[in-house]
Amino acid sequence: MPEAPTRLFEVACKGCQRSLVIVARIRDQEIAALEDHLRACRSSEPLGVAPMLGEIMRRIQVTALGQA
């Protein structure tokens, strides 16, 4: 199977609507950055001490931007 063309995704905070990162794939590093933002963001619901991925994903908005 050929690899699908690279698509980019814009990740924005649902709380403050700020665009946080544009990435091809959301990895641990991006998750950590998103978690940092969500903790600092006053518009977002507070996160627990060790949030599950689902809790982070619930607070962000992911939009496909098309091919790179």
16 is a contact residue toward Zn ion (CB under 5 A): yes
Give per-residue burial for 27-65: e unless 16+ CB within 10 Å, then b.
eeeebeebbebbeebeebeebeeebeeeebeebbeeeee
10 is a contact residue toward Zn ion (CB under 5 A): no
Q: Output 8 or 61, the one with its CB closest to Zn ion.
A: 61
User: Which residue in this structure is represented by tokens 């950055």?
Assistant: 33
Q: Output 8 or 15, the one with its CB closest to Zn ion.
A: 15
Work out how close the CB of 52 gets to Zn ion at its nearest, in angstroms, rounded to a whole number: 19
Instruction: Note the residues at the interface with Zn ion (CB under 5 A).
Output: 13, 15-16, 41, 44
